[in-house]
Amino acid sequence: MKIVIVGGVAGGASAAARARRLSEKAEILLLQSGPDISFASCGMPYFIGNEITDRKSMAVQTPESLRRTLNIEVRVLSTVTDIKTDEKTITVRDDAKGDVYTKAYDHLILAVGAAPFKPPIPGIERPGLFSLRNLQDMDQIYAWIEKKQKELGEGDMRCVVAGAGFIGLEMVEQLVHRNMNVTLVEAMPQIMGPMDVEMAAILHSDLEAHGVDVIVNDPIASFAEAPKDPESSILTLKSGKVLPAAQLTILGLGVRPDTDVIKQAGIEVTPRGHIVVDETLHTSASNVWAVGDAVEITNPILGEKWAVPLAGPANRQGRMVADNIFLETKRKYKGTWRVSIVRSFELYAACVGLNDKLLKAKGLPYSVVHIHPNDHAGYYPGAEKVHLKLIFDPMLGKIYGAQIVGKAGVDKRIDVIATAMQGNLKVEDLAELELSYAPPTGSAKDAVNYAGMAAQNTVEGLVSQVQWTELETLASDPSTVILDVCNPGEIEGNGPLVPTALNIPLGELRSQLNEVPRDKKLVVSCASGQRAYYACCILKQNGFPDVQNLAGAFMTTSFARQTAA
């Protein structure tokens, strides 16, 4: 059997390795357009920032190591220029020698990945502007930084990162670590698009606290040569704002599937260029499979299709395709849940599933709880807040998604919720999960348990909630009273939730119920949400007819306000 794999890195290399483990007799040819067959693409920002110092470690596998350990023929600098699915052949150009040849296959695996998106912005091809896709890009950026820091002196180099997604935030962090002045420019109204605005706002504020100039909702309009410095660029934004001359610009403006040759071959792709596959990852062409960033796969929450360019799914897809080629029982890819995490200085931000924006666009009913517990037992030194947003079906308790930001324990909690979602658990199941506990690492009731309990209370009608987005409208409504159960000292220190809020501390609420109007809607808040929930229970059990809890309370609202100001 002849297997040809187009593209290495995550999906292609995994498919090749698994295929060899399943068959010693198969002829396996792995083609890669660049010089590196399998490399640590997710680690490249950390090498640029000198957090990873061993350049050799960035090449996870080399052509020689794959030949030696797995007997896989590897050809780098080889570009596929044509695919004839009816003849089961591909045409390959050897970019080193210029030769062109045809290769036959029994099975073809497409792991072509995605290329950086470079919109037609005037000046985008200027020197000092870089995308980051491969080790060659990484080396060029590193060399450019070394050159410019020698010319200017460390601390005097100015950089712009265009795009505030995963790569953008990682590059911002690493450039700051290298003592550069960094501006982050994002065309959308917020950074970190997979998260909702109030959660992304935590990262936004932290970036500014680390000296990063963050600009949102203002796309780049042009790049121009700086006066007296042809290697520096003046960036003008759509608003007309002109940024100081930058010696380095990182273009993290998203990616597009690298599928031009595949479209020309008649293999079905979506209007956006992603390869269409069935549940076994087989394409529309006989004996042609596809994996990785260029593939449209199932969104298992909605049962629809979406494209999620992440390394973990690509690796698993590559392995599955090899299984489906060699094994009688065909494995079905269940979909990608979009589990992701990024580090930004001391903070980690993680998410899984759907967010507000997607659910609103679909017109689906959903509810949200925000909680702010400690990452471990409060009495044990070093406890830090974990900010957790859980999104769910308000009637059925189905978990739609979650977002978490904090300094510690973010990864394990997003993984627990992601696993629960993949096991079809509901919010009430989160409340009952048995999780590990020791004072240095967690609490007897973990943040995941708390989130499940808060959501369960909502589903079962024990508490009604309003969101921070509704607060301004409710505060101006004469039929609504905002009740703040914080202590007066907290309000003096942090400022009021709204100027018209009625303040009765929780400890005094029972004795002052006569001061709370019964003929109005009550929206109850505190610092982080727990006392407000207690107050809601007191009020409801004392006959107040219309009581609602402000989800996330002052803390969530203040995060959103900080970046909106």
pLDDT 10s digit of each residue in the chain, 565 long?
A: 999 999 988 899 999 999 999 999 999 999 999 999 888 989 999 999 999 999 999 988 888 989 999 999 999 999 999 999 999 999 999 999 999 999 999 999 999 999 899 999 999 999 999 999 999 999 999 999 999 999 988 788 999 999 999 999 999 999 999 999 999 999 999 999 999 999 999 999 999 999 999 999 999 999 999 998 999 999 999 999 999 999 999 999 989 999 999 999 999 999 999 999 999 999 999 999 999 999 999 999 999 999 999 999 999 999 999 999 999 999 999 999 999 999 999 999 999 999 999 999 999 999 999 999 999 999 999 999 999 999 999 999 999 999 999 999 999 999 999 999 999 999 999 999 999 999 999 999 999 999 999 999 999 999 999 999 999 999 999 999 999 999 999 999 999 999 999 999 999 999 999 999 999 999 999 999 999 999 999 999 999 999 999 999 999 999 988 876 5
Candidates 177, 171, 179, 182; CA nearest to 214 is: 182
Read off the tokens for 253. 């403006």
> Positive or negative CA dihedral for 326, 332, 338, 341?
negative
Could you tell me the strand order of the sheet in which 547-550 lies?
Answer: 464-466, 547-550, 521-525, 480-484, 502-503
Evaluate whether 502 touches 482 at the Cβ level (below 8 Å).
Answer: yes
Distance CA 325, CA 289 (A): 9
Beta-strand ranges (E) seen in 227-336 are 229-237, 248-251, 255-257, 275-276, 288-290, 295-299, 304-306
Q: Backbone phi, then psi, for 365, in 5-degree steps?
A: -70, 140
Distance CA 464, CA 471 (A): 14
Q: Report the pLDDT value the prediction gives residue 565, as an integer from 0 to 100.
A: 59
Q: Report the pLDDT value the prediction gives residue 374, as an integer from 0 to 100.
A: 95
Q: Report the pLDDT value the prediction gives residue 9, as an integer from 0 to 100.
A: 86
SS3 198: helix
Q: What is the pLDDT of residues 136-177, one digit of tens each?
A: 999 999 999 999 999 988 788 999 999 999 999 999 999 999
Beta-strand ranges (E) seen in 134-180 are 158-162
Evaluate whether 345 touches 393 at the Cβ level (below 8 Å).
Answer: no
Q: What is the dihedral of CA 348, 354, 360, 363, to 10 degrees?
A: -170
Read off the tokens for 204. 């936004």
How many DSSP H helices and E strands does the chain contain?
17, 32
Candidates 366, 524, 357; CA nearest to 455 is: 366
Distance CA 284, CA 262 (A): 11
Counting Cβ atoms within 10 Å, is residue 153 exposed (0-12), middle (13-18) or buried (19+)?
Answer: exposed
Q: What is the pTM of this model?
A: 0.94
Q: Report the pLDDT value the prediction gives residue 564, as an integer from 0 to 100.
A: 65
Question: Checking phi first, is residue 459 left (phi over 0); if not, alpha (psi -120 to 50) or beta?
Answer: alpha
Ordered by where they begin, the domains of the chain are: 2-114+256-326 (3.50.50.60), 129-253 (3.50.50.60), 346-459 (3.50.50.60), 465-564 (3.40.250.10)
How crowded is the C-beta side of 35, counted as CA atoms within 13 Å? 6
Q: Report the pLDDT value the prediction gives residue 144, as an integer from 0 to 100.
A: 97
Residues pairing with 213 in the sheet: 183
